[in-house]
Structures are given as C-alpha cells and as structure tokens.
Amino acid sequence: MLVEMKGITKEFGPVVAVNNVDFKIESGQIIGLLGENGAGKSTLMNVLAGTFLPTKGEVFIDGKKKVINNAQIAKECGIRFIHQELNLCNDLSVLENMFLAQEITNKGITNTKEMNRLCTEVFERMNVNIHPNENVGNLQAADKQLLEIAKSLLFKSELIIMDEPTTALSTNEIENLFNIMRQLQSENVSFIFISHKMPELFAVCDNYYIMRDGTYVANGKFKDIKESEITKLMIGRSLADDSFANKIDYSCDEVVLSVKDLNSELFHNISFDLHKGEILAITGLQGSGKEAIADALFGAEKYTGEIRIGNELIKSNSKIIKYMKKGIALVPRMRKERGILNDLSIYDNLSIGFINTKFKKLLISSKEENARFDRQKKAMRIKVGNPNNPITSLSGGNQQKVILGRWLETDAKVMLFDNPTQGIDVGAKFEIYHLILELAKRGKSIIVFSAEYPEISKVCDNCIVLYKGEIAANIKRDKLNEVDVMKYSTGLTGEEKTND
C-alpha cells in the first residue's frame, strides 16, 4: 500500500499546526518521524488517522484520492494509529479487547470460538505469547503495546503509526518489539515511528522525516546521516531572543535544598544541591522521570533517599503539608487538572496556600484575604476584574500567576515549577519567565522542570539533563547549548555513532 499526503495544512483557529506538508510512505517501509515538541508530528499523523480533517490538502492511497474524516474510515483503509496512552480496557480480557466494538456475532450472540481462533492466529504470526483469556490489567506494558499491534493486524492494517511506543518498555522488550516490526515489515506492513530516542530510530527505521514548526525540513535514509546532523535539523531555529542573554546569576554559596540518592521506580540515584538564588533546570524527554522527581521533591510521589532543607532532613514520604511548611512549593504541571481548584473563586485559589501553612486563627477575615490578594495582584501583575469570580474566568497565564501567588504567600524558599508555561500564550510565557528571574533576585531558589529548550535556556543557571530516570549531565549556563541537551536526553554520551 502506498500512502501519500499532499499539501497538508491544518489550522486550529489562528494557529497553523501543520503547514503545506507532503509525506509519502511505501509498503514495507519504516519511517522515523522526528521533530521537537510542537513541531506538528502528532497533528500530521492525526490527519492521516482521521482524527482531524485537514484545512487544506489531500490524502491518496495507492494513487486514489481518499477523504479520511473519521477513525473508522482510516481503519477501513488499513491505517491504525497506536497512541502513546494505549486505548485498552484494563478490566476486560485480551480477547474482549481485541474485538472491542467489532465483535464477531452470530444472531446477536458473540462467537467466542471464531474470535479465539483469529486471535491465536495473529499471535502466532507475531510470535508472541499472550493468552487470549488473560485480563489486560495483568499484562506488562510491553505486552499491552504488542496487543495494540496485534489488534491492528487482526483488522488487516497495512500502515501502523506508533507514537513513542518505547517509553514504558525495557531494553529487551524494545528489542523484541523491533524484531516483530522487522518481521511484519517483511510481510509488507509499513510503520511510522514517532520517537525522540536516536539509538532506537537508528536501529529500526530505514528513513527519517524531520519536521519543525509545522513544516517539512528534511528526509532521507538513516544510513546516510549522523545523529548530530539530525539534531541540528530538528532544532534549526534562529537563536533565542536576547532579553535573557545577559541574565544575572543570583546564586549564593548557601545551600538551601540538598537532595541525596533519591530513588523510586521512575528515577534513580538523583543527587544535587540547590543554592540560594539559583535557578536550576531539570530537563528530559517523556519517560525521563522529571515529572516524578518534581512530585517527589514536594512529597507527592513516593521515594527513598534524603531531601534536606538547609540542614533539616524532611522525613521521607511525609504528608505534603510538611514539605510546604518547611518551605517547598510546587507549581504543578497540567494546571487545569492538578493546579487550579476550578469551582472556587480567585480569592480562595490564591489564599489556600497561606491558609494551609500559616493560618492559626479560627475565622478567616475577608479583609486579610483582600490584603493578601492585592499584594499578589500587584506583584504578579494579574489582570483580573472581580476576585470573587471563579478562577476559570481567567486566562491560562493569569491562572498560573494566581497559583504562583498562592505559593509566594506561604513564603516558600524553594519553588518548583513543573512545566509552568503549558497551554499559555507566548506573551504570558515571557511574563512568567521574568517573574521567575525576579524571584531568584529576591533570594528564592528555583527548579524549573521543562522539556522545552527555549524555556530552560532563558531562565536557568544550571541544567540537569535526565535520561531514563538518571542524571545524564549537569551543564552550567555558559556551556549550555541545545545540541548537547538533545544529545544527553536522547541517550548519547558523547561519541558519535552512525548506523552502518
């Protein structure tokens, strides 16, 4: 099957996510689709899988024009998109999941025998050992991944799109997955493989296809290119604006937060010191464990190891309120789900931190709440009409400022920012960066957890790069550059490798 996309453009309101892109994949090809976060990879694939209808452009299958306007049509064309978050029902059996909503029936009664036969046939073809009656919830992450592939084969898919399928898999499981992919490749099944991990891409893909800022950048064969060249092509943007170039480093010698041998399932042997006034960035790709570390430092995720504020050890796995009272604050990722209290007023959202840590009286006075609010409104330049309105009436940037204000009222010494500009427009992003710098100037110690290089390069004094839950590098600001960060976070340790 030959799939061609011609002149695809996809706009979301004023945002152009994909701009006039041509893409082609032949049968039996494995293409590695590369690009930074927000480069338009997922959008393009969603167009192919029928999730989005393109604003402009056409899709051709075997030379014939096809309008793929929903996922069902894509499936009928033999195209399957396996998302990063797998769409499986954990409480149902493997068999039930395989045929979910497409059960084979005989006069309304499901024909288990036939389904069993087909299922076993596919498993045999893939050479995997999964029992059809097993509960999906009991399967390993790798088996679930294979199950999704089996499901696509079951319905005669000829093109399988996989979005970062290896994040939850171990090295052996990845190798096994690749073997199955290669075997299916020889049976003329083609794959589009979205990943950030260079070694894997070089191992399994024939061709690369690189996108940047919604446009096509380059394609070719992996065997003709070096990893560092790919990285350069992916980044390629003009240098970040200068207003942060002369950032002053406010770090003092005094160690405020000291982390020693922090371990959990998701990260290993994390140790570092954070100084007064320092801005530390912790970066890494999906699955690098940076989110888990952010939560662990705030007591929201289990860990072993030592976290000290000044010289005081915080007993591991205490309640979050303990960490708060010792002076740690977390501006969480996914503001809508984990940050704001959506039914509550702007006032209440701001004052809840203070009330939890410092408030000792019986009754809350609205006068004091007002004073607190006005102080933060001025400091943060929050644009707000009536603070009694629900917080959801504010824009994303202003909501984030309210959350920030919540923590400033607790007089936190260490502020953790986990993906602080998620879903915030560019202007507000810069405001948040300036606020972060201002806080450092006032002597706060700050850790920014982010996967976006432009973000960390603006604010950080030091940068820790994670790979698979471990510290791969600790880079000072004057040595910081995007190519190195990308290298370390994709698992390269310095020496270059080519695929020969």
171 by Cβ neighbours in 10 Å (0-12 / 13-18 / 19+) ranks as exposed
* 408 belongs to the binding site for other proteins (CB under 8 A): no
Nearer to other proteins, 110 or 422 (CB): 422
Nearer to other proteins, 52 or 298 (CB): 298
Phi then psi dihedrals of residue 438, to 5 deg: -60, -40
Beta strands in 64-132 (DSSP E): 64-66, 79-82, 105-106, 109-110
* 327 belongs to the binding site for other proteins (CB under 8 A): no
Nearer to other proteins, 330 or 415 (CB): 330
Phi then psi dihedrals of residue 310, to 5 deg: 60, -120
- What DSSP character marks residue 238? P
Q: Which stretch binds other proteins (CB under 8 A): 25-33, 84-92, 247-255, 361-369?
A: 361-369
Identify the sign of the CA torsion 418, 474, 462, 452: negative
Binding pattern to other proteins, positions 132-171, x when CB under 8 A?
----------------------------------------
Nearer to other proteins, 380 or 486 (CB): 380
Q: Least distance in Å: CB of 346 to other proteins?
A: 13
Q: Least distance in Å: CB of 90 to other proteins?
A: 16
Q: Which stretch binds other proteins (CB under 8 A): 13-21, 99-107, 139-147, 319-327?
A: 319-327
Secondary structure of 328-370 in HEC code, one letter for each residue: EEEECCCHHHHHCCCCCEHHHHHHHHHHHHCCCCCCCCHHHHH
* 495 belongs to the binding site for other proteins (CB under 8 A): no
How many Cα atoms are found within 13 Å in the side-chain-facing hemisphere of 498?
7
Residue 262: beta bridge partners?
270
Nearer to other proteins, 42 or 399 (CB): 399
Residue 18: beta bridge partners?
10
* 373 belongs to the binding site for other proteins (CB under 8 A): no
Q: Which stretch binds other proteins (CB under 8 A): 117-125, 165-173, 202-210, 329-337?
A: 329-337
Nearer to other proteins, 271 or 318 (CB): 318
Nearer to other proteins, 101 or 362 (CB): 362
* 343 belongs to the binding site for other proteins (CB under 8 A): yes
The CB-based long-range contact list for 379-384 (8 Å cut-off, 24+ gap) reads 379/405, 379/408, 380/404, 380/405, 380/435, 381/431, 384/346
Nearer to other proteins, 159 or 416 (CB): 416
Q: Least distance in Å: CB of 349 to other proteins?
A: 9
Q: Least distance in Å: CB of 320 to other proteins?
A: 5
* 344 belongs to the binding site for other proteins (CB under 8 A): yes
Spatial distance between the Cα atoms of 194 and 83, rounded to a whole number of angstroms: 10
Q: Least distance in Å: CB of 163 to other proteins?
A: 25
Nearer to other proteins, 40 or 339 (CB): 339
Phi then psi dihedrals of residue 216, to 5 deg: -75, 140
Nearer to other proteins, 348 or 461 (CB): 348
* 339 belongs to the binding site for other proteins (CB under 8 A): yes
Spatial distance between the Cα atoms of 279 and 500, rounded to a whole number of angstroms: 42
Site size toward other proteins, by CB under 8 A: 29
Buried residues in 423-443 as b, exposed as e (16+ CB within 10 A): ebeeebbbbbbebbbebbeee
Q: Are strands 207-212 and 215-221 parallel, antiparallel or unpaired?
A: antiparallel
Spatial distance between the Cα atoms of 340 and 348, rounded to a whole number of angstroms: 10
* 367 belongs to the binding site for other proteins (CB under 8 A): no
Q: Least distance in Å: CB of 471 to other proteins?
A: 25
Q: Are strands 255-263 and 328-331 parallel, antiparallel or unpaired?
A: unpaired
Do residues 16 and 38 touch, judged by C-beta distance below 8 A? no
Q: Least distance in Å: CB of 382 to other proteins?
A: 17
Q: Least distance in Å: CB of 126 to other proteins?
A: 37
- What DSSP character marks residue 390? B
Least Cα distance to 282 among 440, 449, 420, 444 occurs for 449
* 352 belongs to the binding site for other proteins (CB under 8 A): yes
For the chain, the straight-line distance linking the first and the last C-alpha, in angstroms and rounded, comes to 28
Q: Are strands 279-283 and 445-449 parallel, antiparallel or unpaired?
A: parallel
* 319 belongs to the binding site for other proteins (CB under 8 A): yes
* Residues 208-247 contacting other proteins, CB under 8 A: none
* 55 belongs to the binding site for other proteins (CB under 8 A): no
Candidates 5, 25, 77, 330; binder of other proteins (CB under 8 A) is 330
Taking the CB of residue 35, how many other CB atoms lie within 10 A of it?
Answer: 23
Q: Tokens at residue 94, please?
A: 């493997």
Nearer to other proteins, 418 or 452 (CB): 418
Assign 106 to helix, strand or coil. strand
* Residues 274-313 contacting other proteins, CB under 8 A: 298, 300
Q: Which stretch binds other proteins (CB under 8 A): 132-140, 245-253, 307-315, 318-326?
A: 318-326
* 342 belongs to the binding site for other proteins (CB under 8 A): yes
Candidates 100, 269, 313, 359; binder of other proteins (CB under 8 A) is 359
* 338 belongs to the binding site for other proteins (CB under 8 A): yes
Binding positions for other proteins, rule: CB under 8 A: 298, 300, 319-321, 324, 330, 332, 337-344, 348, 351-353, 355-357, 359, 362-365, 406
